A and B are shown apart, each in its own frame.
Chain A
Amino acid sequence: MSKFQKEPTKLVPVPSTNKIPERDVDKSPILEARHLGIDFGGLTAVNDFNMAIGRTEIAGLIGPNGAGKTTVFNLLTKVYQPTRGTILLDGHDTAGKTTVQVNRMGIARTFQNIRLFSNLSVEDNVKIGLHNHIGYGLFSGLLRLPGYWKEEKVAHQRALELLSIFDMQDLANAKAGSLPYGAQRRLEIVRALATNPSLLLLDEPAAGMNPSETAELMENIVKIRDTFQIAVLLIEHDMSLVMGICEGIAVLNFGQIIAKGTPDEIQNDPEVIKAYLGSGKGE
C-alpha cells in the first residue's frame, strides 16, 4: 500500500483496450497512463501513450530499437517530466512528483544499462532498497542507540530473505560490481523489490542471459508476482520470455502504440509484423 498522503482522488473507470487478467478485472488498475507524451527539443519521443495495468498483471512493452520503450519507463518514474498526459498510480495523479516520491508511491524499476551501487556489497545494495522501511534516524545511527541495532538486524534478515528469491544469499558479502552480468541484473530486481513496490518495471531483464538463465528468470518473475501480489511491466527483446509470461502486451513504434492485446493477438497482428520486419529488426 502506498503510504503517500494525498486527498482522495475519484477513481475513474478504465477505458482501456488492454485485457486486464480476469482476477484483476473488477479492480481499478494499479497504473494508468493517459495520452502520455514527451518532446526533446522539438522531437517527439513518445506520443499519445495509453496503457492500464492490472494489480497483479504481468505486462510487456515491446518494439524495435529506438521505439521509445525506455523513455516510457523514464516518464513513469519521472526521470523525465512528461510534456503531455497523465499518469495515475493507484488512482493518484503523479503530476509534479519526483523520482523519489514516485518510488515511495509504489513504482520501482531496474535499468537497461545496469545501475548498481557497484562499490558496495550485495547486501548493502538491498539494504539501500530497504532505506525507507528502516525506522531509525541519523542520530540513532551516529550514537548507536538500541533502535539502530534492532532495525539493522531486521534489515539484514529481510535483505537475505529477498536475496533468496534468486538464491543469491550466499553472495551477500560480494562487491556488487564484481558479480557476473546475470547476477547483477537479478540483484537490480531484488533491490527494486526491497522498496516494496506495487508496480515493478523491468528494463530488459533477460539481456545478456543464456536460454537456461532466461527460463529461470521467467519462473522467478512469475514467482515474484505470485508472492508479492504486485504488477510487473517489462521491456524485453526476448520474445520467448515476453510471449511466455506476459498477459497483456503493448507494441511501441516511433513513440506510438501500434498494437495492444494478448500474446496471441500480438503475434498475428499485421501492423506488428510490419514494424518488426519493415524496420529490418526481426526477432
Chain B
Amino acid sequence: MKTIAPGRKRLVNNIITYGMVIAAFVILQVLNAGGMLSPSLQGQLVPICAYVTMAISLNLVVGISGELSLGHAGFMSVGAFSGVVANLSLQSVLPSGPVRLLVAMVIGAILAGIAGTIVGVPVLRLRGDYLAIVTLAFGEIIKNIINILYIGVDENGIHFSTQNEMALNLAEGGKAILKGPMGVTANVKLSTFTAGFILVLIALTVVLNLVNSRSGRAIMALRDNRIAAESVGIGATKFKLTAFVTSAVLAGAAGALYAMNYSSLAAKKFDFNTSILILVFVVLGGLGNIRGSIIAAALLYVLPELLRDFYDYRMLIYAIVLILVMLATNSPFFRDLKGRFQEWLRERAMAKADAKAKGGKGHE
C-alpha cells in the first residue's frame, strides 16, 4: 500500500486552490458581462479581492508563523494612502491607468513592507499575547498618524504637514491629496476586478511557494516548537521577520488596490475592527489553511450583503454565526471526533511499522 507523497498531495492541493480562484474569477466575469450581478455586488468585487489578499497575508503571520497580530489593517492603511498619493501625484507623468495602478500598488507594498520591518524588528522579540497587544497598538498609532497627516502635491513635489491644509504651502495649481481626518476626498479610481484577481493570484503564489520552501519550513518549525527549531540552528528573529514583512508587503498592495476603488477614503476605515474582521476570516477559514482563508474572506465579506433584507439584524446574525461556528469547531464533541480520527491514523502507521519490522526480520 503506497500513500501519496506529500509533494504530490501538496501539488494537488495547490492546483485545487488556484483552480478555485481562477474559476471564481471566470464565473464572476461571465455573470458580470451578462449583467447578472446586482450593482451592489458588482461594487464589491474589488474589495472582495482586497480582503481575500488581506486574509491570505494575515494567515501567513497567524497561521503559518503562529504569531497573533491584531493590527493588520495598519499595513493595509499604509499601502492605501501611499498608493493614493502615488496615484494622484503621478497623474501627469503616467497617464495610463493600469500602469499607474501597478506603480501605486508597488509603492504601497514597499512602504507597508518598511512599516512592517519597523514594527517587526523590535516587536517580534515579544511572545504571544504581548505581541498581539503591541501589534494592536501599532495599528492604532498608524491610524492616528494618518489622521493628522496632510499631504499635497504641486510642481515642486510632495508637501507634508501635520497642521492643516494651509500649512502645506502649495504653489498655484497644486492640490491637497490627504487632508487629515477628512482623508482623501478626490481620488481617481483605477482598480478593476482583473487587477484584484491578479493580486490574489500573486499573494497565493507567494504564500504557497514560501510555505513549501526552506524558509517556510523554518517559519513553521519555529511555530511548532521554538526551542527545538533553535536547537537545529534556525534563528527565530530572521524567519519570524520574513513572515511578518512578507505579510505586510502583501497587505500594502491590497490596501492600494482597495483605496483605488474609491474616490474618498479616511484613515478610520482601517481601524481595530477591520483588523479583527480579517482575523475572523483567517480563524474561520482555518489557521494555516490558505484556501480556507480565501473562501471565508469572500463569503463573510458578502454575507452582510446577502443579509440585506434583515438589515437591522445582520450584524447580530453575524455575531451569532461567529460564536456558533467557533463553538461547533472547537467544542469537546468535535474534538472527540477529530481525536478518534487521529487515533485511527496512528494505529495505521503503527501497524505499518510493525509489518515492516516483521518483514525485515524475516529476510535476515
Interface set of A (CB-CB < 8 Å, partner B): 77, 79, 98-100, 103-104, 108-109, 111, 115-121, 123-124, 127-129, 131-132, 134, 136-138, 140-144, 148, 151-152, 155, 167, 170-175, 178-180, 183, 191-192, 194-195
Interface set of B (CB-CB < 8 Å, partner A): 3-6, 9, 206, 209-210, 212-218, 220-221, 224-225, 227-236, 242, 288, 342, 345-346, 349-350, 352-353, 356-357, 360
CB distance A148 to B220 under 8 Å?
no
Q: Which residues of A contact B216 (CB under 8 A)?
A: 141
Partner of B232, one of A134, A174, A180, A194: A194
CB distance A170 to B360 under 8 Å?
no
Q: Which residues of A contact B218 (CB under 8 A)?
A: 128, 131
Partner of A119, one of B224, B233, B356, B360: B224
Task: Given A118-B224, A142-B213, A173-B5, answer yes or no on A131-B234 (Cβ-Cβ < 8 Å).
Answer: yes
Task: Given A120-B220, A128-B221, A142-B209, answer yes or no on A115-B5 (Cβ-Cβ < 8 Å).
Answer: no
Q: Which residues of A contact B288 (CB under 8 A)?
A: 119
Most chain B CB within a 10 A radius of its CB, from A100, A127, A137, A144: A100
Task: Given A142-B209, A142-B213, A178-B342, answer yes or no on A100-B233 (Cβ-Cβ < 8 Å).
Answer: yes
Partner of B3, one of A117, A137, A143, A173: A173
CB distance A180 to B349 under 8 Å?
yes
CB distance B346 to A138 under 8 Å?
no
Give bound CA distance, A77 to B214, whole Å: 23
Output the least CB separation between B67 and chain A (Å): 16
Closest 3 CB pairs of A and B: A141-B213, A103-B233, A115-B228
Give bound CA distance, A144 to B210, whole Å: 10
- Beyond known contacts A128-B221, A142-B213: 20 more, CB 8 A cutoff: A79-B231, A98-B230, A103-B230, A111-B228, A117-B225, A117-B229, A121-B6, A128-B217, A131-B233, A131-B234, A132-B233, A141-B210, A141-B214, A141-B215, A167-B357, A171-B352, A173-B4, A173-B9, A174-B349, A192-B231
Output the least CB separation between A214 and chain B (Å): 15
CB distance A192 to B232 under 8 Å?
yes
CB distance B232 to A138 under 8 Å?
no
Q: Which residues of B contact A129 (CB under 8 A)?
A: 232
Give bound CA distance, A118 to B220, whole Å: 10
30 contacts between A and B (CB under 8 A): A99-B230, A100-B230, A100-B234, A104-B233, A108-B231, A108-B232, A109-B231, A111-B228, A115-B231, A116-B224, A116-B225, A117-B220, A117-B224, A117-B225, A120-B220, A120-B221, A128-B217, A128-B234, A132-B233, A136-B214, A138-B242, A141-B209, A141-B213, A142-B209, A152-B213, A173-B6, A175-B345, A178-B346, A179-B346, A194-B232
